[in-house]
Amino acid sequence: MFGPGREYNFTRPNEKGEYEIAEGISATVFRTVLDYYKTGIINCPDGISIPDLRDTCDYLCINFDFNTIRCQDLSALLHELSNDGAHKQFDHYLEELILPIMVGCAKKGERECHIVVLTDEDSVDWDEDHPPPMGEEYSQILYSSKLYRFFKYIENRDVAKTVLKERGLKNIRIGIEGYPTCKEKIKRRPGGRSEVIYNYVQRPFIQMSWEKEEGKSRHVDFQCVRSKSLTNLVAAGEDVLEDQEILMHHPPQVDELDRLNAPLSQMASNDFQD
């Protein structure tokens, strides 16, 4: 931390040649960390926040692991260790599994990617004449039971978001959604129209973009209204009321890409109004 040529040589002496350390670290935590320089082990007493102790160890370049830390609250300690392990594990998944799919989308001119993680045992069998709705055909499928189990924990999903942000990606969404795998039955509607009912399974998904703006159309068609010079306020008020009436009867038409990119709640409300 202090020696020349060290990897983490970020501490500089002041005008008196003194090193100012532990800024923002409480006296209790710093006193606890001092044990490391005597015994090589930090015995964390009750009442010390493990996340605060972790931040202090990172600042002082002390390895935060089970060989270094001893504490009564094993839950908090294992939580920090799990976050470390999840960070390293997702780095591997990102390079080996996710990045090749993103590169394939980029080569097609896409600016974002939506990946659904299925298990190795899952199979997708869609009816070619009646595919499922909601644009699932644009999702990329990744078969990996290991990544599926990784994303079952919300803590791991939070770590994955942090890793993706560190790698410069934007508009990141990670969660669980229903994904259609195979058709369950076919219903016959009046008029001879067929409707296919699909079987949905709950699977993790990742959505991210490598551009600053979301890839959606901003085009909106407004109803044209006449414009003219007005000579008095009475005429102006009449034209305002007339324009409002026209807009009420002819609402703006939203482009289909806007509708697809809108949140689900907004889509539902728009469809209800239509």
Chain segment 6-57, per-residue pLDDT in tens: 555 556 677 777 767 767 788 888 888 888 998 999 998 888 889 899 988 9
Phi, psi at residue 29, to the nearest 5°?
-65, -45
Give 136's pLDDT tier (boundaries 50, 70, 90): low
Tokens of 190: 């009046």
Whose CA is closest to 90, among 192, 9, 224, 204? 204
What single letter denotes the amino acid at residue 90?
Answer: F
Among 136, 152, 146, smallest CA distance to 98 is for: 146
Whole-angstrom distance, CA of residue 1 vs CA of residue 10: 7
- The Cα-based distances of 130 to 26, 170, 200 in angstroms read 63, 34, 15
CA distance 210 to 156: 22
C-alpha to C-alpha distances, 111 to 31, 65, 141, 263, nearest whole angstrom = 50, 39, 17, 19
pLDDT tens-place string over residues 213-261: 654 544 444 444 444 444 454 444 555 455 554 444 444 444 444 444 4
Domain boundaries, the chain: 27-72, 86-209
CA 226 to chain centre: 46
d(CA 135, CA 116): 13
Rounded to two decimals, the pTM is 0.63
**Band (263; pLDDT cuts 50, 70, 90):** low
The predicted model gives 202-219 an average pLDDT of 75
Distance CA 272, CA 274 (A): 5
